[in-house]
Structure 1
Amino acid sequence: LLIFLFFQYVHSLKFLAFNPLMGMSHASYINKIAEILYDDGPEIIMISPPMSGRVKVVYPRNWTVISVTMASNEMAAKEGESASNIYWKYKSVFEFMKIVESVTNAGVNQCEVTINHPGLLESLHAEKFDAAFAEPVDWCGFGFFHLLGIRSYAMTMTVPSTDNTFRITGLPPMISFVPGMTASFSDKMTLMERVINTVTVMMEGQFVAAQWRKYQKNFQKVDPHFPRH
C-alpha cells in the first residue's frame, strides 16, 4: 500500500525547449538535445517561433510543439539568403554590427509576437516546468523563462564561445592572445594588433549588450518588475 501511495507523487521531469526557427543548424541542434532528453523519460514541450519562412523542421519525436504567428517582417534576409548565411559574410566590424542589429531587430519583433500570443504565458506557467533550455542566438527564450518563473535553465551553443558569450559564463574574453570574431589577423599578433583587438572586442561588447537590452522592453511590458541590466 505504501508503495502505491508513493507512486502517485512520482512524475517525470518536464522540460521547456525554446527553439526559434532561424536556421537549420540551430533548430536541429535544439531538436537533438530534446530528442536525447525525451528518450530518457522527461516530458518535452517545445515552442518554435517561426523566425524565417524558409526554415522547415521535422521533429523526430512525438513531443508537444507550440507554434505561434510569424511577425510581419521575416528575419534578416538579403537578396533571398537566409539570416544564418548572412551572419558569416561580414568583412569588417561595422558590417558585423549591421548584421547583428538586423537579426536582433527581427528577433525582438518576433519575441513581442510570441510573448503576447493569446493565452500562451498562462498555459505554460500552469505546466510548472522543472527546467528549460535555449540558445543565446535569440535572447527571447531566456526572458521567456523568467516570465514563466523557471529558475533552472541551460544555455546551449552550436558554436564555440565567442567574444561576447564569454561574459555570459563569467569568463573574460582572452583578447591578449585570441583574435576577436571580426579580426583580420591570427593569434600571432603584434603589439599594435593586440591594441586594435582589445579596442574592437570592447566596442563589439558594448554594441551587442545594447542589442540584448532591446528585448527587455518587450518583457517589461508584460512584467514591469522584469530585471534591468
Structure 2
Amino acid sequence: MISNGRIADSLAQAGHDVTLLNVETIIPMNAFQTTKYAKIVTLGSISNKSLEFGKNARKGLDTSLYSESGLFDSYTSLSGIIELLKIMMKIPFQEGKETIEKLKAEKFDAIFVEQLFPQGNALGHVLGIDVHFMISSCPMQEHLTSLFGIPNPTGWVPSIGKLAITDKMAFFERAQNELEHHLLDA
C-alpha cells in the first residue's frame, strides 16, 4: 500500500482526482500513512478471526524462513494463505456494499492494484474499470506471469516459492524449480 500511496500522491499532485481505496485485510491501514494528497476510502474491517489467522500465518512463515526447504513446502504452506485470502475477499465485499455502489457512480478511468491481494482486480471488475495497472512490490508470482503472458523461463528464473536456488541451477534444482513453478501456478 505504501507504493500505491506514493503513486496516488504523484497523480494527485499532478492535478488528477485520485481515490485510494484501502481494503482492510490483515494490517489496519490506519497503522501507517499511505497517502498525503489523495482521498481515502476504506472498505471492510479486520475481524478478530482475520487478525488471529494473520498472526499464525506470519509465525509459520517466520519459522520457515531459515529452515531447510523441502520439495512441497510452498504447496503445503499455501493452503493457509488461500484460507486467509478467502476471508480477505469475503468481508470487504459483504460489509462494503453501500461503499461499492458509491464508488461505481464515480466512473473511474483506471485502477492500480497490488499483485499480492486479489481484491483490487476483483473490485476493478465490479466497478466497471477497464484499465488496470499492476503494482508489484516483490517478484512476480507464477500465476500472474501465466495470466498476463509474461515470460518466466524456469530454466534460470527462480520460482517465488521457498527453494533456496539462484539463477545458476544444477539439473536437479531446475527440476525442483519447474515443479515449484507448476505448483504455484495452479
TM bin, normalised by shorter chain, reads 0.7 to 0.9
Aligned partner of 1:17 in structure 2 is none
Question: Residue 50 of structure 2 aligns to a residue in which SS?
Answer: coil
Is 1:156 aligned to residue 131 of structure 2?
no
Give yes or no for contact 1:180–1:201 (8 Å, CA) kept in 2: yes
- After TM superposition, the score normalised by the length of structure 2 is 0.80
Partner-residue secondary structure (3-state), 2:185: helix
AA partner of residue 21 (structure 2):
I
Q: Which amino acid aligns with 2:12?
A: Y
Structure 1: where are the runs of 5+ without partners?
Answer: 1-26, 207-229
2:180 partner amino acid: T
Q: RMSD over aligned Cα, in angstroms?
A: 2.7
Q: Aligned partners of 2:106 and 2:62: how far apart in 1?
A: 37
Give the Cα separation in 2 of the matches to 1:69 and 1:193: 42
Residues 120 and 86 of structure 1: CA distance in aligned 2, closer, same or farther (over 3 Å): farther
- The number of equivalent residue pairs is 178
**Residue 174 of structure 2: aligned partner:** 194
Task: Report the equivalent of 1:140.
Answer: 119
Alpha-carbon distance, 1:46 to partner: 1.7
SS of aligned partner of 1:174: coil
- Aligned ranges 1:62-141 → 2 under 5 Å: 62-67=37-42, 68-74=44-50, 76-78=54-56, 81=58, 86=62, 89=65, 91-92=69-70, 94-116=72-94, 117-141=96-120
Structure 2's unaligned 5+ residue stretches are none
Q: Which amino acid aligns with 2:36?
A: R
Cα drift, residue 204 of structure 1: 2.2
Percent of residue pairs identical: 18
Corresponding residue for 1:46?
A: 20
SS at 2:18 equivalent: strand
Q: TM-score, normalization: structure 1?
A: 0.67
Task: Write the distance in 2 (CA, Å) between the matches of 1:187 and 1:69.
Answer: 41
1:148-227 correspondence runs (5 A): 148-181=127-160, 182-206=162-186
Alpha-carbon distance change, 94 to 122 in structure 1, aligned in 2, over 3 angstroms: same
Q: Does the aligned pair in 1 maintain the 2:109–2:129 contact within 8 Å?
A: yes
Deviation at 1:157, TM superposition (A): 0.4
> CA separation of 1:124/1:170 partners in 2, compared to 1, >3 Å: closer, same or farther?
same
SS of the residue 1:48 aligns to: strand
CA displacement at 1:32 relative to structure 2: 0.8
Residues 196/202 of structure 1: CA separation in 2 closer, same or farther (3 Å cut): same
